[in-house]
Structure 1
Amino acid sequence: MNAVTFYTKRVNQATSFEFNVFDNQFATENLAVRKVLMSMLESVAHRLSDLEVEYNDSMLAEKLGGRRAGELLRLLGATKENTRENQSNGVVVSRTFRAPLTEERYDYFYNQRDIATLAHYRLQEGLEDRIVFYFTRYLQLIAPDQEAYDKFLAKLESFSLPYKLVPIA
């Protein structure tokens, strides 16, 4: 297996690790990609407090079926009160909601089979992004300190997942 490439960038005390889906040429349901997300989650698990999800109704229903899509959104905390519509030229193109990250919701992300089931999501510490998945383009960890940095790399190694860090300016 080729090494998984992460583009890294320091921002104050934090380090951003970006896994570019296209560059790594793995399907989003590949076990290596799932291990990347699991490693990210474990490195900042104790810090995560909130979840923000953006989704497109028809795309999610096409992937999961209408009933399962509704069940997933309810599991993740979507309600009429916390969901807002994102429009373009008066047409709803997606919806976004924010909810507390409960243990059950954390487990969903940790155990999901395809990291791209949801188009765009953020796992946050308050309002600070810690893990971001953006429309099958990239999966990013913002490790806030050396402890999270070290935990992330140690978890990749424990999964026997070879990696390469490529610093960017």
Structure 2
Amino acid sequence: MLLNAIILYTRRQGEATSFEFNVFDNQFATENLAVRKVLMAMLAAVSNKLTDLEVEYNDSILVEKVGAKRAGELLRFLGATKENMRENLSNGVVVSRIFHAPFTQEHYEYFYNLTDIAQLSHYRLQEGKEDRIVFYFTRYLQLIAPDEKSRQVFLEGLEEFSLPYKLVPIS
């Protein structure tokens, strides 16, 4: 095994390939440069396909990470409005909020330049209704590369960032 290589679990899904970066298995903090480079390579692989953004967040966690003023600014910047917001309730208490918005070039730049990929708890960057990049509650970061070209761009991106990786197929 490559020393300090990141582990990516792969699975074929028809024409698509899923690459999953498990945060626990790789033992990197979500603000680690290696983790950020994985997200950057994922973004490059599907940049021309992304049309939609879905974000789930917890108010207090987001405020703790970025501050109250910045949290409001960030949510507005990403497209959160009263009209597109849904609340997830548990026993009548809001545990998280979810919104869906069009994905823009500004959003691409925001995610590409994130210093901590866990700034938002859970997000999906989508092509229509199809997930392309998913970050799930500090558990995993996943790319669903829809075709061979996207798959190659992702792997070449990791190599360009000098990020050694090991692909582990799962069924």
TM-score by length of 2: 0.98
Give the alignment partner of residue 151 of structure 1, picking from 144, 148, 153: 153
1:1-169 alignment, distance < 5 Å: 2-169=4-171
Tell me the distance in 2 between the aligned counterparts of 1:14 and 1:128: 11
The count of corresponding residues between Structure 1 and Structure 2 is: 169
Please, what is the CA RMSD of the aligned residues? 0.6
Tell me the distance in 1 between the aligned counterparts of 2:28 and 2:70: 26
Give per-residue Cα distances to partners, 1:81-127, cap 9 Å, x unaligned. 10110111111100000000011111100001000000000000000
Matched AA of 2:79: G
Moved over 4 A (4+): none
Runs of 5+ in structure 1 lacking a partner?
none
Tell me the distance in 2 between the aligned counterparts of 1:104 and 1:151: 21
Tell me the distance in 2 between the aligned counterparts of 1:81 and 1:154: 40
Give aligned-pair identity as a percent.
74
Matched AA of 1:139: L
Greater CA deviation, 116-125 or 81-90? Answer: 81-90
TM-score by length of 1: 0.99
Q: Shift in Å at residue 24 of structure 1? A: 0.2
SS of equivalent residue, structure 2 residue 48: helix
Runs of 5+ in structure 2 lacking a partner?
none
Q: Shift in Å at residue 29 of structure 1? A: 0.2
